[in-house]
Amino acid sequence: MAHAVRALWPGGRALTWRLGGRPALGLPAQSRAGLTGAAGGPGPAATTRKGCPRLLGAAALALGGALGLYHTARWHLRAQNLRADLSAAQLSLSSRLQLTLYQYKTCPFCSKVRAFLDFHALPYQVVEVNPVRRAEIKFSSYRKVPILLAQEGDSLQQLNDSSVIISALKTYLVSGQPLEDIITYYPPMKAVNDQGKEVTEFCNKYWLMLDEKEAQWMYGGKEARTEEMKWRQWADDWLVHLISPNVYRTPTEALASFDYIVKEGNFGTVEGAMAKYMGAAAMYLISKRLKSRHHLQDDVREDLYEAANKWVAAVGKDRPFMGGQKPNLADLAVYGVLRVMEGLEAFDDLMRHTHIQPWYLRVEKAIAEAPQ
């Protein structure tokens, strides 16, 4: 069977090797002259005729096996070299970027971006934004987090929206296109949401802008690409909306959640004290409105459990991740959203009452073992 191995080099140039399997062995036809005995008996020539095919067959088998082993070893060696070349190419691309992430640590959208950056071993600086004054992002007309500033040589680009950040950076790593060009593929668009409020949406934000060969190399087929996009959107449109109703489900949980938020966030002393108690009370009440808006069950834990088990069923039993042997962008998105609940009662209940823990721990390990 022929194998195709493809590597992407800096600048987006694609090279493809076709490595053939074991070649067919063509043996010259044997001359019948001198192999025919005298009439009336087999003679020595007939004896030779019986023995030669066996010897030739054994020789052919041995030679074919040796060539097969040679080509197998050669293919594995080239595959290893190609993987090393690809890693070196991506490392070269990532080393050109200086990244600064403006975030709230407990924000699920920001956690998604950190999961992506950590898994891809992209170094970045973090600026924790004060959620009251937001002075750290006064330079931006876009007032939500996460915001990522990417310095590439003399070019400084601002990337907004967690899914746009992830799609743009992954496109950059795979294709090698200039980041300033990639950003133009995700234009902002003003829209009005269900509450009549004007919001900014981004076109194409779940798409990676790859050519056909790059997409084939990354996904192997259209089904895998469609699946990844579907579940990335599910994480944004559904899963993330289950976090607040669950972590602010009761007054006790709301207070514990804001105690965690204050400790991890960028608050002043007075701001922190006010946020802990006033914020907890406010979010407890708001969570009830969110429950009604998203048509959640009386016990919102049940919605969280159902979502987790739905995700586990989608991954299935035959692969460790939705991405196969390693997490894809959907794995990282779902993990990033759920991670913000770590240390809270909702997270402990989720691990205890669903089947998601083995998958969650595998993603956690994959991120921890990413080369730094």
Contact 279, 260 (CB under 8 A): no
> Could you say which of 52, 70, 102, 110 is catalytic?
110
Spatial neighbors of 80 by CB under 8 A, at least 6 apart, are none
Does 70 qualify as catalytic in the annotation?
A: no
Contact 206, 229 (CB under 8 A): yes
Bridge partners of residue 3, in order along the sequence: 19
Spatial neighbors of 251 by CB under 8 A, at least 6 apart, are 280, 281, 284
> Could you say which of 102, 104, 206, 258 is catalytic?
104
Contact 338, 240 (CB under 8 A): no
> Could you say which of 102, 107, 119, 248 is catalytic?
107
Contact 135, 128 (CB under 8 A): no
**Which of 220, 227, 190 has its CA nearest to residue 206?**
227
CA distance 29 to 52: 12
Does 110 qualify as catalytic in the annotation?
A: yes
Does 107 qualify as catalytic in the annotation?
A: yes
Does 335 qualify as catalytic in the annotation?
A: no
> Could you say which of 102, 109, 206, 360 is catalytic?
109
Instruction: Classify each residue of 301-338 as buried b or exposed e, where b means 16 or more C-beta atoms within 10 Å of its C-beta.
Output: bebbbebbeebbeebeeeebbbbeeebbbbbbbbbbbb
If one counts every other C-beta atom within 10 angstroms of the C-beta of residue 106, the result is: 22
Q: Which residues are catalytic?
A: 104, 107, 109-110
